[in-house]
């Protein structure tokens, strides 16, 4: 039998298992579904999936049971019986062997576990290029765009150095998807994509599998995963239309990718942000393909100045404390004012004779003037979110000298 025929036979077995998971499944049933003998059905299934048929059935039933334990208050024994297990004890042993935790403890603590994902065999060979999806004329090219706000949160992620979903899975495996999707607190489904710049390591592609969770999420995760905090973020969610043939998922994803590529971000007042990852949630026939792009509003000069002023005012108390901790004799601040850079941007002469200005004329600063006891001179202070400046000068800003200029 050639490979395409094997793929079709295994696909038929997978569909039969999915459709009859709540029933008794025999090898006779599997053979009939595959169109081949029991021996041959067993052999080609293991060859293409790496699992035996009954390993798949057990993993699917245990994952279904785990989802029920997480989302309902059904008794453990009822969950066991509903998923083909004849006793509470047998179910508990099988559950522990699959997930490393007892059903009772899982219900109480709901830690992330490796839910089994039954990947359609055809999907893999479509991505590898052995099977061609149907014409994209059958998939709607309509894509909706929705603004979604995220609060400060955490990102749980697994780095890979592939170029896309498939090469990433081939490098690090596929357990991440069931693991991430088992987290009930997650904001959205598990995704693949690009990390924010501050999380990208040198000489890597910056790609990862990940899921976003609330900032207070503190459940234990395996060492192979990393976790980092993310600031509040705005996402533009690009959502394609539902489609009929499951094999058309690459076309659906490509339609969304093209929509993102051609979207006039600036025209609608957006620019790409680094406050979150670029998320690709894949595609399902019922929901269409989904991706999300982190963005922020493009500010004009006036809006940018107002934004800067708001940031500075929020830092006011902290900056006063930083100035007072410098230990400069005669300098003690109780208040700071918003001042335009052009009003306080004095020119200083350095020891080498070079003249410099340290501020920007069109920027706002927190500043003040303090008279120095016993001198006809004053301290001038100015600060922004990055630097502190203390200078000394005479009447009307004459003969200014830098006392201290440092990064905060």
Report pLDDT digits (tens) over 41-88.
Answer: 999 999 999 999 999 999 999 999 999 999 999 999 999 999 999 999
Alpha-carbon gap, residue 339 to 50, rounded angstroms: 68
* Residue 286: exposure state from Cβ atoms within 10 A (0-12, 13-18, ≥19): exposed
- Provide, rounded to the nearest whole percent, the portion of the chain with pLDDT above 70: 97
Q: Is 45 within 8 Å of 52 (Cβ atoms)?
A: yes
Q: Is 373 helix (H, G, I), strand (E, B) or coil?
A: coil
Which stretches does DSSP call E strand in 127-205?
A: 143-150, 153-160, 191-194
Alpha-carbon gap, residue 60 to 154, rounded angstroms: 29
Q: What is the pLDDT of residues 276-317, one digit of tens each?
A: 999 999 999 999 999 999 999 887 766 666 667 777 788 899
Query: Helix (H) and strand (E) counts for the chain?
Result: 13, 16
Specify whether the backbone of 392 is left (phi greater than 0), alpha (psi in -120 to 50) or beta.
beta
Alpha-carbon gap, residue 327 to 388, rounded angstroms: 14
Confidence of residue 134 (pLDDT cuts 50, 70, 90): low
Find the mean pLDDT for residues 359-374: 91
Q: Is 207 helix (H, G, I), strand (E, B) or coil?
A: strand
- The overall longest dimension of the chain from CA atoms, in Å, is 104
Provide the β-strand partners of residue 312.
Answer: none
pTM above 0.85, yes or no: no
Contacts of 252 (CB under 8 A, 6+ apart): 139, 240, 243, 283, 288, 289
Choice among 38-47, 219-228, 307-316, 367-376 with the minimum mean pLDDT: 307-316
Alpha-carbon gap, residue 174 to 169, rounded angstroms: 5
Q: What pLDDT score does 310 carry?
A: 77
Alpha-carbon gap, residue 331 to 324, rounded angstroms: 7
DSSP H or E segment with residue 87: none
Residue with tokens 């006063």: 320
* Residue 37: exposure state from Cβ atoms within 10 A (0-12, 13-18, ≥19): exposed
Which stretches does DSSP call E strand in 78-138?
A: none
Q: Is 169 helix (H, G, I), strand (E, B) or coil?
A: helix
Q: Is 91 helix (H, G, I), strand (E, B) or coil?
A: helix
Token output for 233:
């973020």
CA angle 118, 121, 127 (to 5 degrees): 115
Neighbours of 146 (CB within 10 A): 10
As assigned by CATH, the class of the 121-297 domain is: alpha beta
Alpha-carbon gap, residue 66 to 59, rounded angstroms: 10
- Kindly state the DSSP code that residue 200 receives in the 8-state scheme: P
Where exactly are the structural domains of the chain? 3-109, 121-297, 302-407
- Kindly state the DSSP code that residue 199 receives in the 8-state scheme: G
> In whole angstroms, how far apart are CA 22 and each of 58, 70, 144, 286, 328?
11, 19, 37, 22, 77
Find the mean pLDDT for residues 137-162: 94
Alpha-carbon gap, residue 389 to 357, rounded angstroms: 11
CA angle 217, 218, 220 (to 5 degrees): 125
Residue 135 has pLDDT above 90, yes or no: no
Length reported for the chain: 408
Choice among 62-66, 206-210, 392-396 with the minimum mean pLDDT: 392-396
- Crossing angle of helices 53-71 and 88-99, in 10° steps, is 100
As assigned by CATH, the class of the 3-109 domain is: mainly alpha
Find the mean pLDDT for residues 367-385: 93
Q: What pLDDT score does 184 carry?
A: 97
Alpha-carbon gap, residue 60 to 68, rounded angstroms: 12
Token output for 352:
């080498």
């Amino acid at each position: 039998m050639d490979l395409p025929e094997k793929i079709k036979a295994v696909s038929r077995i997978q569909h039969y298992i999915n459709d009859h998971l709540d029933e008794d499944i025999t090898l006779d049933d599997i053979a009939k579904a595959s169109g081949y003998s029991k021996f041959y059905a067993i052999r080609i299934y293991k060859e293409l999936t790496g699992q035996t048929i009954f390993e798949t059935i057990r993993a699917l039933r245990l994952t279904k049971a785990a989802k029920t334990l997480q989302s309902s208050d059904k008794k453990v024994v009822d969950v066991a019986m509903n998923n083909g297990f004849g006793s509470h004890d047998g179910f508990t042993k099988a559950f522990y062997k699959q997930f490393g935790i007892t059903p009772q403890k899982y219900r109480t603590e709901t830690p992330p576990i490796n839910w089994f994902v039954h990947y359609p065999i055809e999907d893999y060979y479509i991505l590898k290029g052995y099977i061609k999806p149907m014409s994209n004329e059958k998939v709607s090219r309509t894509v909706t765009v929705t603004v979604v706000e995220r609060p400060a949160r955490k990102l749980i992620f697994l780095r890979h150095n592939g170029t896309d979903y498939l090469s990433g899975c081939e490098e690090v495996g596929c357990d991440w998807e069931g693991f991430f999707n088992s987290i009930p607190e997650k904001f959205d489904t598990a995704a693949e994509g690009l990390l924010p710049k501050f999380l990208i390591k040198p000489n890597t592609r910056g790609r990862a599998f990940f899921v976003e969770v609330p900032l207070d999420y503190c459940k234990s995760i395996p060492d192979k995963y990393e976790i980092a905090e993310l600031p509040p973020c705005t996402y533009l969610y690009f959502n394609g239309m539902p489609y009929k043939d499951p094999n058309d998922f690459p076309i659906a994803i490509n339609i969304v990718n093209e929509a993102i590529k051609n979207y006039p971000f600036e025209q609608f007042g957006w620019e790409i942000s680094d406050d979150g990852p670029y998320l690709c949630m894949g595609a399902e026939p019922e929901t269409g393909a989904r991706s999300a792009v982190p963005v922020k509003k493009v500010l004009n000069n006036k809006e940018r100045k107002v934004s800067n002023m708001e940031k500075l005012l929020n830092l006011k108390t902290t900056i006063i404390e930083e100035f007072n901790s410098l230990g400069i004799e005669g300098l003690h601040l109780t208040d700071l004012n918003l001042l335009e850079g052009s009003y306080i941007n004095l020119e200083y002469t350095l020891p080498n004779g070079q003249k410099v200005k340290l501020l920007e004329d069109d920027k706002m600063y927190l500043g003040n003037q303090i008279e120095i006891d016993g001198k006809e001179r004053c301290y001038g202070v100015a600060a922004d979110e990055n630097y502190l400046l203390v200078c000394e000068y005479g009447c009307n800003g004459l003969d200014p000298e830098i006392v201290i200029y440092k990064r905060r």
